[in-house]
Chain A
Amino acid sequence: MMKYTDEHEWLMIDGDTVKVGITDYAQKALGDVVFVELPETGATYQKGDDAAVVESVKAASDVYAPISGEITETNTTLEEDPSLVNSSPLDDGWFFIMKAADVGEMDDMMDEAGYAEFIETLG
């Protein structure tokens, strides 16, 4: 199941295992990604903490932990090829996998249709 946040992150949810990346809208807004800093495997975050950094030619942006929990895996390929965030944001450009501390945190998140509506409102 896919869920989305208003910070333009996507969550691919399989029980309490949650893969996280940024949306196509987000990668377009960022522009050419030249650097990604990933969290440490084993690190724990509260929902909303800064977990990763994504940098374009012009600016750095934070990627937030969309839920509370522990980082179980990171996409280290991004360290070699950060442009995957632009070319494949929903697939090869994923950032990290978390083990959710509270799956209930995801209940109110947008589904695909809801997110599509949300980005419509941003113009």
Chain B
Amino acid sequence: MSDILQTPLYDLHVELGGKIVPFAGYSLPVQYPLGVMKEHLHCREAAGLFDVSHMGQCYIRSVDGSDPAIALEMIMPGALQALKSGKMRYSMLLNDEGGMEDDLMVTRTHEPDGMLYVVVNAAFKDKDYDIIEQKLAGRVSLEPLEDRALLALQGPKAEEVLAALAPNVADLGFMEATSVTLEGHVCWVSRSGYTGEDGYEISVPEEAAEDLARRLLASDLVQPIGLGARDSLRLEAGLCLSGHDFDGSITPVEANLGFALGKKRREAGDFAGGDKILSQLTSGAQRLRVGILPEGRAPAREGTIITDKQGNEIGKLTSGGFGPTLGGPVAMGYVPASFADAGTEIDLIIRGKAMPARVAATPFVPQRYKRKA
């Protein structure tokens, strides 16, 4: 990587003692002096502030003034046309084989033309933008939002902290978003995140990002959280990391993300790779992403070979590490469908030794989203 980028909060990360590492082309803190374990636990107990400005934020409009979701639904399997103003949905960008090039969040803005606000993974933003612009050429226009930072405030105290700045954020339910003025700046705030906790993601003009971050960190309830705890939090929550827990060779059915397929859409199959995905929905996928709990204390990392109890290789871990809230190792990986039931006994080959493990339901730690009744 020749040019490593900095987010608008880089100086603040350094000032806070962040241990800076390269990640997806950006210099970002892997941890602060508190350390991964305590950062993780603090986020689950109170609130954590994450700089996720490296992620790709963009607006997508249709060229002819129609609903841009009509075009996007060709390459995404979610019910995007059904998104009402201020509602968001988790979806994925599919290739022609039904494989997941990336996962992303799509939100309907309040704009009269139904403009969508889309957030994609940092490592794939150029690829994603290319796919959207090429596959949907002449139908949609994509405007990258290069001048906005993205902060995530996550944890059971996130509402209390953010509502002190803007009381109306308490009215948002999980996967809802709206325009909110924070510290005098117009921000786009959603009740969402990737930790399994309640919380918010705040798209803020870059020049206002540091002030807002400092204001949030001024609360005793908030600690800054680095990439290390971000990863352990999302892993405990059973959430996929794009490029690791799936890639372009894996369908949403195989990745056990069928919930993201709209009901009508899964009947119609009117999206890229629809035939393959429909057939997997009907007759089942041959391999499935599952949660895995190693029985000992040894963490099993990404790439670890999974075997049956007879020692035959049946798959590999795609994520794995230690879950601080669970107090033990947690992992995810792909196994043949016949091994995918929770409780199935398997082995993980760690440093040449077969270590017992079990297929387990995810999330490993209960999600605590604030869904509206």
Interface residues of A (CB under 8 A from B): 31-32, 34-35, 37, 53, 55-60, 79, 82
Within 8 A of A (CB), among B8-50: 30-31, 35-38, 40
The reply to whether A55 and B322 form a contact with Cβ atoms under 8 Å apart is yes
Residues in B neighbouring A60, C-beta threshold 8 A: 299, 301
Residues in B neighbouring A32, C-beta threshold 8 A: 35-38, 324
Report B285-318 CB contacts with A as 1/0, cut-off 8 Å: 0000000000001110100000000000000000
Which single member of B229, B231, B298 contacts A37 (CB below 8 Å)? B298
The reply to whether A56 and B36 form a contact with Cβ atoms under 8 Å apart is yes
Residues in A neighbouring B299, C-beta threshold 8 A: 34-35, 55, 60
| Distance between Cα atoms of A34 and B321 in the complex (Å) | 10
Which single member of A53, A56, A59, A82 contacts B351 (CB below 8 Å)? A53
B232 at the interface (CB under 8 A from A): yes
Known A-B contacts A34-B299, A35-B299, A79-B297; the reply to A58 vs B351 at CB < 8 A is no
The reply to whether B298 and A55 form a contact with Cβ atoms under 8 Å apart is yes
Residues in A neighbouring B173, C-beta threshold 8 A: none
Within 8 A of A (CB), among B229-286: 229, 231-232
Residues in B neighbouring A53, C-beta threshold 8 A: 351
The reply to whether B228 and A34 form a contact with Cβ atoms under 8 Å apart is no
Q: Which residue of A lies closest to B37 (CB)?
A: A32
The reply to whether B232 and A34 form a contact with Cβ atoms under 8 Å apart is no
Task: Enumerate 20 A-B pairs (CB-CB under 8 Å) in ascending A order.
Answer: A31-B35, A31-B36, A31-B37, A32-B35, A34-B37, A34-B329, A35-B322, A53-B351, A56-B322, A57-B36, A57-B37, A57-B229, A57-B322, A57-B324, A58-B36, A58-B228, A60-B299, A60-B301, A79-B297, A82-B297
Interface residues of B (CB under 8 A from A): 30-31, 35-38, 40, 228-229, 231-232, 297-299, 301, 321-322, 324, 329, 351
Known A-B contacts A53-B351, A58-B231; the reply to A34 vs B297 at CB < 8 A is yes
Residues in B neighbouring A56, C-beta threshold 8 A: 36, 322
Q: Which residue of A lies closest to B232 (CB)?
A: A57
CB distance from B352 to the nearest CB of A (A): 11
B40, B228, B322: residue with the most chain A Cβ atoms closer than 10 Å: B322
The reply to whether A58 and B321 form a contact with Cβ atoms under 8 Å apart is yes
A34, A55, A56, A59: residue with the most chain B Cβ atoms closer than 10 Å: A34
Q: Which residue of A lies closest to B30 (CB)?
A: A58
Q: Which residue of A lies closest to B323 (CB)?
A: A57
Residues in B neighbouring A79, C-beta threshold 8 A: 297
Residues in B neighbouring A82, C-beta threshold 8 A: 297
The reply to whether B297 and A57 form a contact with Cβ atoms under 8 Å apart is no
| Distance between Cα atoms of A58 and B228 in the complex (Å) | 6
CB distance from B124 to the nearest CB of A (A): 22
Q: Which residue of B lies closest to A79 (CB)?
A: B297
The reply to whether B321 and A57 form a contact with Cβ atoms under 8 Å apart is yes
| Distance between Cα atoms of A59 and B320 in the complex (Å) | 10
Residues in B neighbouring A57, C-beta threshold 8 A: 36-37, 40, 228-229, 232, 321-322, 324
CB distance from A10 to the nearest CB of B (A): 22
Residues in A neighbouring B329, C-beta threshold 8 A: 34-35
A32, A55, A79, A82: residue with the most chain B Cβ atoms closer than 10 Å: A32
Residues in A neighbouring B36, C-beta threshold 8 A: 31-32, 56-58
| Distance between Cα atoms of A59 and B321 in the complex (Å) | 8
Q: Which residue of B lies closest to A56 (CB)?
A: B36
Q: Which residue of A lies closest to B33 (CB)?
A: A28
